[in-house]
Chain A
Amino acid sequence: DVKVTQSSRYLVKRTGEKVFLECVQDMDHENMFWYRQDPGLGLRLIYFSYDVKMKEKGDIPEGYSVSREKKERFSLILESASTNQTSMYLCASNLLRGYEQYFGPGTRLTVT
Chain B
Amino acid sequence: AQSVTQPDIHITVSEGASLELRCNYSYGATPYLFWYVQSPGQGLQLLLKYFSGDTLVQGIKGFEAEFKRSQSSFNLRKPSVHWSDAAEYFCAVGAQGGKLIFGQGTELSVKP
Contact = CB atoms under 8 A, between A and B. Distances in A.
Contacts of A61: none
Contacts, number: 56
Interface in A60-112: 90, 92, 94-106, 108
Interface in B86-112: 90, 94, 97-100, 102-105
Nearest to B95: A99
A45 B44 contact: no
A42 B104 CA distance: 4
Contacts of A95: 98
Give chain B's interface residue range (CB within 8 Å of chain A): 20 to 34
Contacts of B103: 42
B41 A106 contact: yes
A4 B45 CA distance: 12
Contacts of A9: 41
Given A43-B102, A99-B32, A31 B42 contact: no
Contacts of B97: 31, 48, 50, 56
A40 B104 contact: yes
Contacts of B43: 4, 90, 103-106
Give chain A's interface residue range (CB within 8 Å of chain B): 20 to 34
A56 B99 CA distance: 11
B46 interface: yes
Contacts of A43: 44, 90, 102
B9 interface: yes
A56 B97 CA distance: 11
B67 interface: no
B42 A105 contact: yes
Given A4-B43, A106-B43, A99 B102 contact: no
Contact of A42 (B42, B49, B102): B102
B104 A101 contact: no
A31 B105 contact: no
Interface string A17-57: 00000000000000101000000111101001010000010
